[in-house]
Amino acid sequence: MPDTPIAALPSTHDSHSTHSLPSRALDTEPKTRPTRSADPNVLRCESTADFLAALPVLTGFTADNSLFLVFFSGRRAGRAIRVDLPDRDDPGTMRALLDLLSERLGAVSQREGRVSGAAVVICTTTTFASARMTPHRDLAHRIERRLRRDGYRLRELCCLAPDGWASYFDDSTPATGRPLRAIAESPINRYIADDPQLRAKPITSLDALAELPSVEAGRRASIAAALDGPHLPGADEPSPLLSGPGSLTDEATVRADATRFESSFDRTDAGPPSDTVHLVRALASRERWFVLLLTALAPAAVVPDLCSGLPGNNRHHLTLDIDGEPANSPNSGWSVLRMVTNLPLEALDFDRLRQATSATADLAATVSGRWRVGPLALLALLWWLRGIHSAAERHLDRVRDAPSELGDVTHMVDRIVREYAPPGW
């Protein structure tokens, strides 16, 4: 999920080595003033309250009833993951949660070549007042014990509730929690307000992330009429545009799709209806859908070369998911699924992914019925690449049973989201 800035935080519990899971905060009341690092993209936090103030900038969103796990490399926080707070206390649910946390920390540690530290925050709607203590204390202790047993260093383990916050490592925390004003008054908030880059990154709720933007009814009607009518190519696009098997061999079609999609990334208005119609038509073809996926990952100028370099016979017959089908394809060894699930973290441009996500959400919001399947499948995959499963799953729920010629595409994306960890995890 977290594809934004980084926060540095001193360890307040260096003796604790453990585990962690979806987390969202760090610990205790401010002891010294936080400082701005020499790196303009780093916020130096001196307390848990500072870290809680900075965390929404790191993750890009807020979420209730969630566990956030923030990974550390040395003293610097990097990416974070979120999972739902367990709604029951049975052994199977707890074991799955603890296994997930330990597994994710193990994967990050293996990638970095050393044991990764982490911070865990439990964000809950349960109040200190109703619990008469720090909420979810038993869960926090289970997490701490399991991760310590597995050799992972837990820098902090905290709770953020509607009426207070606390570190589970701080025995002096009152039963009513520490006051939220310590977070609201943290100097980190001033640094964020004064930094144009940080200020430009909108913070929203997790639920709002998966909402599609509103589109004026007249625009939707005119685009629907154009999509259901005959295709009349614009002056700047090849005629006819190829779709279906073989279209990846047509450099003019590939270039037109990639260029049109990339041009929508920085657009502040809705753009001409002809552009929307062009891109929605492209997303209705599995081959041209793949071209737009490549454009979300790489500059449009190189996408034709990427297509021409596809292995085997994929330019003529694109293989989506060889692992989910009988292994009788001449393209065995390569598929779109294998390409996507083996992308290294270093290959991802998260600013570009954010732009592509916004542009694709606009397309999905503008159309309905069968025309919406392609945009929503791409949107789900982009959210998965950014590490936000909840948004990906919500978009997939909208298309799983929708009639479409893109059933194999949605099935592939569904498998990726359900069965694979995003790059870097």
- Domain stop point among 180, 202, 224: 202
Domain that holds residue 182: 6-202
Assess whether 233 and 104 both reside in one domain.
Answer: no
Assess whether 13 and 154 both reside in one domain.
Answer: yes
- Domain stop point among 168, 202, 236: 202
Assess whether 221 and 180 both reside in one domain.
Answer: no
pLDDT for the residue 44: 80
The more confidently predicted of residues 37 and 418 is: 418
- Write out pLDDT tens, residues 302-314: 999 999 999 888 8
Helices and strands (DSSP H and E) totals, the chain: 18, 10
Question: Per-residue DSSP letters for 175-228?
Answer: TT-B-THHHHT-HHHHHHHH-HHHHTS--EEHHHHTPPPP--HHHHHHHHHHHH
The percent of residues in the chain predicted with pLDDT above 70, rounded, is: 83
Residue 402 forms part of a structural domain: yes
Assess whether 306 and 327 both reside in one domain.
Answer: yes
- Write out pLDDT tens, residues 122-167: 999 999 999 999 999 999 999 999 999 999 888 899 999 999 999 9
Assess whether 123 and 252 both reside in one domain.
Answer: no
Domain total for the chain?
2
- Write out pLDDT tens, residues 253-271: 999 999 999 999 978 787 8
Residue 245 forms part of a structural domain: yes
Assess whether 257 and 141 both reside in one domain.
Answer: no
Residue 1 forms part of a structural domain: no
Assess whether 237 and 115 both reside in one domain.
Answer: no
Task: pLDDT band for 180, please (50, 70, 90 cuts).
Answer: very high
Assess whether 162 and 273 both reside in one domain.
Answer: no
CA dihedral for 304, 306, 309, 313, sign (positive or negative): negative
Assess whether 190 and 231 both reside in one domain.
Answer: no
Assess whether 142 and 253 both reside in one domain.
Answer: no
Identify any residues that bridge with 165 across adjacent strands, giving them in sequence order: 160, 178
CA–CA dist 197, 41 (Å, integer): 8
Assess whether 52 and 147 both reside in one domain.
Answer: yes
Q: Is residue 30 within 8 Å of 159, Cβ to Cβ?
A: no
The Cα angle at residue 162 between residues 178 and 85, in degrees rounded to 5: 105
Residue 425 forms part of a structural domain: no
Identify any residues that bridge with 1 across adjacent strands, giving them in sequence order: none
- Domain stop point among 186, 202, 218: 202
The more confidently predicted of residues 93 and 163 is: 163
Residue 364 forms part of a structural domain: yes
CA–CA dist 309, 88 (Å, integer): 50
Among the listed ranges 9-13, 85-89, 231-235, which one has the minimum average pLDDT value?
9-13
Assess whether 249 and 347 both reside in one domain.
Answer: yes
Determine if the pTM surpasses 0.85: no
Residue 259 forms part of a structural domain: yes
